[in-house]
Amino acid sequence: MSQAIRRATELALDETTVTALRAALKTTADEVVQAIIDEVPSYANALSGRMGGTIRRAVRTALGHYLDLASGNATGGDAGDAAYELGRGEVRDGRSMDALLSAYRVGARVAWRGLAAGAVPAGLPAAEVAKFAELTFAYIDELSAASAAGHADELAARGLAHERHLEQLARDLLSGAGSDVLLTSAQRAGWQPPVSLTAVLLPSAQARPAYRVLDPSTLVLDDLPDALGVLLVPDADRAHLLRQLTDRTAVVGPARPWTRASASYERAVRARSLSVDIRDTEDHLPELVLSADVDAFADLRTRALAPLRALPDSTARKLEETLRAWLLHHGRREEVATTLFVHPQTVRYRMSQLRELFPDLGSPQRVLELTLAVGLRLS
């Protein structure tokens, strides 16, 4: 408390004045507390009961330390530490720094009035009274500064702890943790569970910027493998969410009940593994279904298209393209020809070849297998 200490060295309080001031200490402390209760609404209930007794003792201690400082018998360090802890405590009690600063202002005014009432009758010269006033307000200013620092540090620590709790909740969600674990994690993070969550997978460098334009309850992780990040967006309007991500390299998974957010995330991951051009997984459900077991899909293609393997590659490719168009257009020759940019007679000729290769082409089971085998090309 360098400023207050400097003021104290300029002040010469004799023992008589100090004794008179100490005699008024308890009364002055009580007046300070009462004035704070009356004038600062945030403390109207906080200073009653046991808490009121604690605060009164703290005020008396601070005033006593102040008198030690004024008489040259203290350095001010302990009071600064106490003020710092007071600022931290205000955060825990849910009060703003404005309330505490108001209390300090009221306390300084009332304390000065009470102390001056004791100092003047004790014969303190006018010049020393002025210095005494300067010390009083320098002391209060430095207590205020110490409390403000404590308040800010506690807020920062709580903010960091809160962010870590939110990140842990996001990790629990992505890992598919059980409902009990998720509820506990959500409560610890002070996060109100929504009805649904939608996972958005995107490069880690884009995660925080995208997060800032979304619902404040969105959960974010930007340290996933492969330099990826994920956003878990609560109760998203899908069309609106996609518009918000227009300029991002994002893959948007499906909305899922919040305890099943891992399913949304896993689909987004799988969609991204298929193609970096996929944005909305809902537009690519067939590819996602067929890629659920890549080996099974490869085996299906091998078995279903086995008759084509005996043909030259170029012929096999043309017939496979014709078969795909024929199946997808339900055998409508004109539409197949338009899709392949060939004459309808060419389609007719190729289909004759295919019917020779696949004698059971009319079988529902064969149609199903061939539709799956040629309907999509997966890398």
DSSP string, 288-335: HHHTTTHHHHHHHHHHHTGGGTTS-HHHHHHHHHHHHHHHHTTT-HHH
> What is the average pLDDT across 73-94?
71
Q: Per-residue confidence at 1, pLDDT binned at 50, 70, 90?
A: very low
Q: Which residue has the higher pLDDT, 333 or 26?
A: 333
* Rg for the chain, CA atoms, rounded: 38
pLDDT of amino acid 127: 66
> What is the average pLDDT across 245-262?
94
Q: Per-residue confidence at 76, pLDDT binned at 50, 70, 90?
A: very low
SS3 content of the chain, % helix, strand, coil (to 5): 70, 10, 20
pLDDT of amino acid 319: 93
pLDDT of amino acid 51: 56
pLDDT of amino acid 147: 84
Provide the whole-model pTM. Answer: 0.56
139-152 residues labelled b (16+ CB within 10 A) or e (exposed): bbebbbbbbbebbe
Compute φ and ψ for 24, nearest 5 degrees.
-90, 0
CA atoms in the 13 A half-sphere facing the CB of 297: 18
Tell me how crowded residue 190 is: count the other CB atoms within 10 A of its CB. 10
pLDDT of amino acid 119: 66
Bridge-based pairing state of the strands 228-234 and 196-203: antiparallel
pLDDT of amino acid 3: 52
Q: Cβ neighbours of residue 246 under 8 Å, at least 6 residues apart?
A: none
Average pLDDT, the chain: 83
| Residue (of 146, 149, 169) closest to 157 by Cα position | 149
Measured distance CA(242)–CA(214) in Å, rounded: 11
Rounded to 5°, angle at Cα 131 from 113 and 36: 30
Q: Per-residue confidence at 183, pLDDT binned at 50, 70, 90?
A: very high
pLDDT of amino acid 2: 52
pLDDT of amino acid 377: 62
Residue 44 in 3-state DSSP? Answer: coil
The burial class, CB within 10 Å (0-12 / 13-18 / 19+), for 3 is middle
Judge whether residue 77 has pLDDT over 70: no
pLDDT of amino acid 123: 64
**C-alpha distances out from residue 259 to 191, 199, 220, 254, Å:** 13, 12, 16, 14
pLDDT (tens digit, 9 = 90+) per residue, 307-333? Answer: 999 899 999 999 999 999 999 898 899
Judge whether residue 8 has pLDDT over 50: no
pLDDT (tens digit, 9 = 90+) per residue, 105-164? Answer: 888 888 778 777 766 666 666 666 677 777 777 878 888 888 888 888 887 777 677 888
Q: Per-residue confidence at 259, pLDDT binned at 50, 70, 90?
A: very high
